[in-house]
Amino acid sequence: MELSKNMRELKSILYGDSETEPVPEACSQLTREFFKDNTMQLLIISLPKFNLETRKDATQVVANLQRQQVQYRLIASDYFETNMDLIDILINGYEDTTMTLHYGAMLRECIRHQIVAKYVLESPHLKKFFDYIQLPNFDIAADAAATFKELLTRHKSTVAEFLSKNYEWFFDEYNSKLLESSNYVTRRQAVKLLGDMLLDRSNSHVMTQYVSSRDNLRILMNLLRESSKSIQIEAFHVFKLFAANQNKPSDITGILITNRNKLLRLLGDLKVDKEDEQFEADKAQVMKEIAALEPSDDHSAEDSVK
């Protein structure tokens, strides 16, 4: 009871209430004390023992403290330099259905710190997310997908470095476990996130590598043929990168020529629900590129859409 009351008071200091705004000086003092006394560790480790309401309050307190600045410094970021084991606990929360949504929300707030995102990306934990995203419990799978997206989009330079160093294993897993998953929601989220990553300027080197692979092209062509309109549209945004590549490898050109008629028919029928001039312009450009392709002399590809 006492603990619940204390947690409500902490939340009230940080967020204010219906009558008062939070006081910056009080927030700064609370932030300093919280990290100095290692209350953060105690709170995370003890969370499973709290009742549901106290867990919710604790989650909001931890989330808020990640953003609190004291003398223009994010104290939480400095704190994690020597307390990264707490991130391990938060990630392992995906193994415990009663804790996932609380630990997951805390984890995403902690990933706001570049030092934490870099740690998770470079740790063995990252591979676990390919499985967490496909857990049968929808809420837990959705939470894991939200964290995965945050890891791969928030800190541009960290992500670009990670993808360049880990290209082979990461995209092998991404393609086989997510883009070719039997689960519709997984495929839809994965192709959308893939587009977000490849269309980001900071990942241009990775994008060039991705669109030079015939296996990747085959996967995207199959996604273009899905019955789901939303998957087709997201797949198009990645497929257009293959078509627009001015330095296509000859086997990519060969596959596009072999499937030219099917692709032009498919793209001709592809419509978005509400009028979108940019989409129509992109589609017209892609169709023009494919229609104009000439076979290269050195290679002819026999691959076609399954």
Query: In the chain, how many H helices and how many E strands?
Result: 19, 2
Q: Which amino acid is at 7?
A: M
Largest CA distance in the chain: 79
Give the separation between CA 64 and CA 59, rounded to whole angstroms: 9
**297 pLDDT above the threshold of 60:** no
Determine the Cα–Cα distance for residues 159 and 97; give it in Å rounded to an integer. 28
Tokens at residue 62, please?
Answer: 């931890």
- What is the fold, at CATH topology level, of the domain defined by 165-294? Leucine-rich Repeat Variant (1.25.10)
Q: Compute the half-sphere exposure of residue 48: CA atoms within 13 Å on the CB side of its CA.
A: 10
pLDDT digits (tens, 9 = 90+) for 193-227: 999 999 999 999 999 999 999 999 999 999 999 99
Give the architecture-level CATH label for domain 1-154: Alpha Horseshoe (1.25)
Question: β-strand 69-70 against 73-74: which pairing, if any?
Answer: antiparallel
Q: How is the chain split into domains, by residue range?
A: 1-154, 165-294
Tens digit of each residue's pLDDT (9 = 90 or more) over 6-16: 889 999 999 99
Beta carbons within 10 angstroms of residue 85's beta carbon: 10
Predicted confidence (pLDDT) at residue 167 exceeds the cutoff of 70 = yes
The pTM (predicted TM-score) of the whole model is 0.90
Partners of 298 in the beta sheet?
none
Calpha distance 240→21 (Å, rounded): 49
pLDDT in tens, 51-89: 999 999 999 999 999 999 888 889 999 999 999 999 999
Give the pLDDT mean for 243-272. Answer: 93
